[in-house]
Structure 1
């Protein structure tokens, strides 16, 4: 699940690579997988999807919106989409959840549904991140009963539901006079539940850009004016457990995406997540998934939120940036290799890079089509092919793929392409500029909606990728070994040790056909199961012809070759970028194995699991800060031989 590359040469377009071979008898180990590990997620903003009930457009007002939030001609206000529209009839052919299911998605992530503060002259909380009533659905989106109906439909269709939640802040109610915080008259009970109306539940130190608190303004200050909760306080994190456990128990959400996760205190997720997981287990959800939004493109920075701060997993912003750059032709496959080289940093007993939630664009930064064309001017003429390539990389490499609503119908955006300009209506829009925005694979929407007309080629491509994952489970976040990564070519193998079949995924971002050859772990023939590339097998190698701007998947006709293997040695060294200790196991064979790493204190006889790595190089990283200063521990790497016997090597490490 953590891909690395080993390549030797590239001569005249004919590439020869030496990589480990997968063993048929590799140790069958259990990898840490979140509940959404095999899913494909559709990320949707309900206000912009479909208006199923015009009577709630005015949030309960008969002639005008009492919140001042409805204005479908402005990008900053509610437009009328709601939960009834998203639910639909729940029958095949409908535009709601049934359509999303038909596109091949298995989970739906909804932006926050909680009641929002009243609108200002600058906009409204149509997006859901200005919450004040955390126990009820915002009236613009419908009722709690509407959400129950959506949940019942999702259950009928076999779709999982994920809720976007906010734990760092609430809507902007608290005001400041000089440096004194207060709640304005008439707003003393503006928030629900009641503990959210207590000033002591907040930091009250001004905006994060200029706060006067003692500590990090990123964690103490108001997020662009929104009231910053004191998440380190027991009343807050227990209150947030109580709030969001109700959404789980009433509506069956199986996962949360946590907004602004970098802005809570360092121990928040250690305090909050166990309570959420416990509450979920009470209603039979035993593998609840929590992934946080930590907007950082450096994997080394993201790792700490999982290893140290207690987040289960995160949105993979480094993948987003790298995948878009590669697909656009802005950078070569080497950048992908560099990205995946960091995957072992995520490997612990309870975490893996395979649990990262991958995406190509979103409601803040913009849509993938816009970002690809912005990354490389020349990509404009090949935008459809490059957008499809980006999705193939996301669907078929490691991680949990997420598609932002509207991308499947070729929405792009205009202006700077981000924030409000990336939140188009799926139903017929009243925003004039959106009517003329270009679409990938189709003409501008005009006065129509995005559900009518011929099916968009992006939609067809995503459906085909999903069908491929369903037919061949190894392609759905299975183990991954990079075969080649240079210039316009990124080639990797996927495999599932229970199936013992190998798949080779080849991505070509060049505007011309290429003919690479790579070493494999299978000696039989190959069949093309996706794309139009051809292949020829010779011994443990695969020669391919890859069309320009294409993604091709090959499947071995025979089983992965067997090869005896044992741990030859285990070595450690300090990683100066992270301060961790790298533990590297070397095998006496090229066979791909699942190497289990364990540690024990010098005074103990009990080995404790430290992580599993199933592709070369076999390694984990140990954080010395998790041990007493100058501790000495023993580290062991072990695997099972062809006959099932355990082979292991160990070494002693002094941590400093």
Structure 2
């Protein structure tokens, strides 16, 4: 059974903290609040045991991968001082946000397992006693605030723990479980679909949205009592702790309108304590960006986990696929571009608690020499940190955890502290020896992955243009991918090259910078610069970063036509500005329904070819006038001739 997570709510224990005005960032309507952050994703139960007094509850068995192991909020919080293994360690690794699995009270353990993962929630207003108390959560939030670490809580809105039973096709609650859940509306059977398993449900509606997810009780998220109830529950979390974001579990399984009904209430709760750019990202397990983008554009999930990136990055790092596959992935980024979203908001990752760890996945993609696994794992992390998106690293990956057997699900949830699970003591690690009776904390400072993540974080910190800024693919051939990134404030160009070959690769790259030369910030490339062409030799299995010594100066723009036609794969209207330039441009697309009507932004594209996609459901049976405005790096504006588009009625 897959294990996921749920959050809990507390009552007014944190009155003082709730009344504090949390720092509100300058809000960009397109960028989410976490857009520049680096996320550390962690299981509190598997991180560090800070309070052994809570180990005695039913479900504690540190020798079995399916039960609680003793990690808790006190262990994760630590002393909040330098040198400690709690949040201070995570901060030292370069992370700016921490995403924790749910802490709500779980259903009673079964002979086969317990809810150490947080996915079997029944009481959403209290902390599971295995993990601590509400007071421990107060201390955790206060430490994170002190260290300037943003808190991201994993929540579940699609289902609860498995409490409801079936007699044939009739749902019922046994007498001892009539009030098993909290708040009270969760005990009302009419707030559930009650149609059996998602794999074989009965009744109306798609099973993927109405069926029980691996036996867990599926909630009727289309009902006002449900989405308003969840808004009350999770809104209180924000008010009490100043949380910056939610990761929403199984987001593809809720009602299509759920996020439209729920998210505005969550954003209002955040604004009430001064958080003006709260981030909600959903787990939509789909590797096809054409499918994924509709959850953002039509279902109105603010953003999602980037499963297409995960697959593509792991395959490129492994040498299984070449650079053109990565280029093709980024070409789909235009699907996410609207007036309020773009692909830079996607939360990227290499491995997770369900699929397995980064090194294990990279290792599984292609048979390579054992000695290649470490540099290939570093390459995968560099690709995640230095391209677009919000990187998230799964705890333990920084110290080379791999996994045994399939390496997925329970086998990807190792203890950071000294483990009592036999296979975890002896399983291989990348970059270090099997852990034996030791712990992961003692090897962190010397581990090559942890050290590299610190380097990448510091590089982003001192060069904001590398931290999820505008990006242009410059070269993609065989095992070499080269991108340009741009520092808007300095008008400075970076070149980032990724080589997944076991041999050095030499290539000539066209740039927007012709004078001043380039400085190497990462790696040891050989560089020859002639005008705007940079010839670079990238060492085997490595990443290099170059920064231009002077600002962008190749800013000439050739403007052509603006066209719009239906894309047969998506059903959207592909609207393309024919613009040619070596510069890293911004092209903003707009539409209006009549000459006396205001222009409506369709989004801004910063990656050639310059395209947005118009959703026909937003403008059904309307005639649109379209325009595109180009801005080069010197601020000069160009406008393409207008064009028109008539969108027919939707097909019935």
TM range, normalised to the smaller chain?
over 0.9
The equivalent position to 2:560 in structure 1, one of 552, 555, 568, is 568
2:625 aligned to which of 595, 611, 634: 634
The yes-or-no answer on 1:255 pairing with 2:245 is: yes
The answer (yes or no) to whether the contact 1:582–1:621 under 8 Å persists in 2 is yes
Instruction: Give deviations 1:601-632, integer Å, cap 9, x for gaps.
Output: 13642101110011211110001122233x21
Given that 1:91 and 1:98 are in contact with CA atoms closer than 8 Å, whether structure 2 keeps it comes out as: yes
Count of aligned positions: 619
Residues 1:324 and 2:314 aligned together: yes
Contact 1:31–1:612 (Cα < 8 Å) also in 2: no
Residue 9 of structure 2 aligns with which residue?
none
In the aligned structure 1, how far is the partner of 2:64 from the partner of 2:480? 43
Moved over 4 A (4+): 640-646
Whether the aligned pair in 1 keeps the contact of 2:62 and 2:419 (CA below 8 Å) is: yes
The structural deviation recorded for 1:589 is 4.2
Structure 1 counterpart of 2:15: none
Alignment of 1:111-150 (within 5 A): 111-150=101-140
Deviations 1:499-548 (A, max 9, x none): 11111001111111121111111112111001111212101011112111
Q: In structure 1, how many angstroms separate the alpha carbons of the residues matched to 2:390 and 2:28?
A: 18
Q: What is the distance in 1 between the residues matched to 2:618 and 2:475?
A: 36
CA distance in 2, matches of 1:589, 1:78: 57
Whole-angstrom CA distance in 1 between matches of 2:164 and 2:562? 57
CA RMSD of aligned residues (A): 1.4
Separation in 2, partners of 1:532, 1:591: 26
For residue 137 of structure 1, report the CA deviation from its aligned partner. 1.1
**What corresponds to 1:388 in structure 2?**
378
Q: Check the 8 A contact 2:511/2:582 in 1, yes or no.
A: no
Q: Report deviation, 1:643.
A: 6.9
Deviations 1:34-86 (A, max 9, x none): 0000000000000000000000112xxxxxx3xx3111000000000000000
Specify every segment of 5 or more residues in structure 2 that has no aligned partner in the other structure, as ranges: 1-26
CA distance in 1, matches of 2:302, 2:124: 23
- Whether 2:596 is the aligned partner of 1:598: answer no
Who is 2:499 aligned against?
508
From the superposition, tell whether residues 81 and 588 of structure 1 become closer, same or farther in structure 2 (CA, over 3 Å): closer
Q: Is the 8 A contact 2:510 2:582 kept in 1?
A: no
SS at match of 1:626: coil
Distance 1:289 1:204 in 2: 31
Query: Does 1:457 find its partner at 2:457?
Result: no
Task: Indicate the SS of the match to 2:642.
Answer: strand
How far, CA to CA, are the matches of 2:211 and 2:590 in structure 1? 41
- Give the Å deviation of 1:333: 0.8
Q: How far apart, CA to CA, are the structure 2 residues paired with 1:121 and 1:155? A: 39
**2:273 pairs with 1:273:** no
Q: Please give the secondary structure, in 2, of the residue aligned with 1:627.
A: coil
Matched, 1:472 2:472: no
Conserved 8 A contact 2:513-2:552: yes
Equivalent-residue separation in structure 2 for 1:316 and 1:70 (angstroms): 34
Residue 360, structure 1, aligned to residue 350, structure 2: yes
Q: In 2, distance between residues paired with 1:270 and 1:31?
A: 17
Q: Within 5 Å, which residues of 2 pair with 1:607-626?
A: 607-626=599-618
Query: Which residue matches 1:481?
Result: 472
- When residues 82 and 30 of structure 1 are mapped into structure 2, their CA distance, relative to the original with a 3 A threshold, is closer
TM-score by length of 2: 0.93
Residue 33 of structure 1 corresponds to 31
Contact 1:530 1:553 in 2 (8 A): yes
How many angstroms does 1:592 deviate by?
2.9
Distance across 1 between alignment mates of 2:29 and 2:107: 43
The 10-residue stretch of structure 1 (515-524 or 221-230) with the greater mean CA deviation from structure 2? 515-524
Q: Give the aligned partner of residue 283 of structure 2.
A: 293
| Superposed counterparts of 1:547-586, under 5 Å | 547-565=539-557, 567-586=559-578
Q: In structure 2, how many angstroms separate the alpha carbons of the residues matched to 1:106 and 1:643? A: 32
Q: Tell me which of 159, 164, 169 is aligned to 1:174.
A: 164
Correspondence for 2:329 among 332, 339, 343? 339
Deviation of 1:249 (Å): 1.0
Alignment match, 1:226 = 216
Match of 2:155 among 165, 170, 173: 165
Please give the alpha-carbon distance, in whole angstroms, between the structure 1 residues aligned to 2:495 and 2:417: 39
Match of 1:3 in 2: none
Distance 2:184 2:635 in 1: 63
Structure 1 residue 646: Cα displacement: 5.9
Shift of 1:590: 4.0
Cα gap change, 1:640/1:483 in structure 2, threshold over 3 Å: closer, same or farther? closer
User: What residue number does 2:74 align with?
Assistant: 84
How big is the shift at 1:565?
A: 3.1
Identify the structure with bigger relative contact order (alpha carbons < 8 Å, sequence gap 6+): 1
Q: Secondary structure at the match of 1:649?
A: coil
Secondary structure class of the residue paired with 2:383: helix
Paired residues for 1:40-55 under 5 Å: 40-55=38-53
Q: Secondary structure at the match of 2:442?
A: coil
Distance 1:379 1:89 in 2: 42
Report deviation, 1:31. 6.5
Aligned equivalents of 2:481 and 2:370: distance in 1? 21
| 3-state SS of paired residue (1:378) | coil
Question: C-alpha separation between the residues in 2 aligned to 1:648 and 1:496?
Answer: 26
Matched, 1:237 2:235: no
CA distance in 1 between counterparts of 2:29 and 2:323 reads: 27
Indicate how the Cα distance of structure 1 residues 149 and 30 shifts in structure 2: closer, same or farther if over 3 A, else same: closer
CA distance in 1, matches of 2:28, 2:596: 24
- 167-176 or 586-595, larger mean C-alpha shift: 586-595
* SS of residue paired to 1:452: helix
Q: CA deviation at 1:644?
A: 5.0
